Amino acid sequence: MALSDPRGIYGVHSVTPYNRKTGEFYGILKVLNGSSLNVEGSLVELMGGSSKFPWAVETGELKVEMSLKISQFEDFLFELFLGKAPTQTSAEAAGNVSTLTSVVTGVLNASTGIASVSAKSGQSASLKFAKYVIKYVSATTVDVYAASDVDAARGTDWAYQTDLLKITASPLTVTASTATEIPGTGVEFTGGSGVIALVAGGVATFETRPINSGVSTVRIGGLANQTMPEFGAIVIAQKRSNGEMTELDCFRCLGSGMPIGFEKNAWANAEIKVKAFYDSAKDGVFDLRYVKATS
């Protein structure tokens, strides 16, 4: 019998994390730049006396670490590596305008200030992916500022008027129980029910989302959400042209932290360190399955 072809592992096809308790998959990672499993052992030497060479050598600790290099940012990654699963909102056919929130008292007031913000009827196509600030100008007028112009050209445009990111050409008048359009935003605010008397220094903020096919939001860093869950991970190498396929099933993994890159003209690329360790129920750290398909 002749020698077999040398066994090779070529590329990476996917990484599939799974819930260790339920066995369910979190999802699949396919936009990968690598997911190498490094099993690193140490050798412990017995040294002493006049010998410059070890008297004996034994194996030391083994460390199993997976370096997960990904260029996709699925919701489950935030749960596994940053401690909180995002909240998902289904498609918003008319976009969304958040509730007006006071930052400095003086603008938001159901009676003497701006009572609320909402999408202007028939202008949902102009709602942008934006964060706005409404700021006191005088007792009955305000200016509006926008954090970024990334989506400013959606529907009816707005443009910055000043270096302080003001988008209103003239201060907008607030009148009681009346809607005032914020030009170019698809949003209008409604004055309070009483005599309008805004307070100097008052600031309020709100966000808008364009018409969309789904939304994910997550707040990372909450004290109650700083524990990362253990998970299992199945790593699959690329299917070779000769039929070879290799699978690695790490039973018990833990990772902490995930970079979220915003680089100039480049896809965000995260390298996440994941430790694999002993699973007493399975009495092992990982399984490796190899097959050479013949058809």
Partner 1 sequence: MSSDAEKKHLKKYTESVLETIRGVEKKKDEPRSQLIAKRDFVIHQNDVHIEIKEGDDVSHVPERYWQNLKTENVI
**Beta carbons of 16 and 70 less than 8 angstroms apart:** no
217 sits near partner 1 (criterion: CB under 8 A)? no
d(CA 22, CA 84): 18
Segment 194 to 213, residues that bind partner 1, using CB under 8 A: 195-197
Token reading at 131? 């964060």
Environment class of 5 (CB within 10 Å of its CB; exposed 0-12, middle 13-18, buried 19+): exposed
Residue with tokens 């445009």: 157
For partner 1, the closer of residues 47 and 169 by Cβ is 169
Cβ-based nearer residue to partner 1, 112 or 208: 112
Q: Cβ(66)–Cβ(208) under 8 Å? A: no
Give the other-Cβ count within 10 Å of 183's Cβ.
17
Stretch of 5-13, 41-49, 69-77, 176-184 lying at the interface with partner 1 (CB under 8 A): 176-184
Residue of the chain from 42, 88, 99, 178 that contacts partner 1 (CB under 8 A)? 178
Contact 245, 234 (CB under 8 A): no
Instruction: Please answer whether residues 217 and 70 qualify as being in contact, where contact means their C-beta atoms are separated by less than 8 angstroms.
Output: no
**Of 27 and 171, CB closest to partner 1:** 171
User: By CB under 8 A, is residue 140 in contact with partner 1?
Assistant: yes
Q: Which of 5, 58, 157, 181 binds partner 1 (CB under 8 A)?
A: 181
Site for partner 1 in 32-71 (CB under 8 A): none
Residue 139 or 153: which CB sits closer to partner 1?
139
| Residue 159 sits in the site that holds partner 1 (CB under 8 A) | no
Q: Does 172 bind partner 1 (CB under 8 A)?
A: yes
State whether residue 125 is helix, strand or coil: helix
Q: Which is nearer to partner 1, 120 or 154 (CB)?
A: 120
Amino acid sitting at position 17 = P
Interface ranges with partner 1 (CB under 8 A) = 138-141, 170-176, 178-181, 195-197
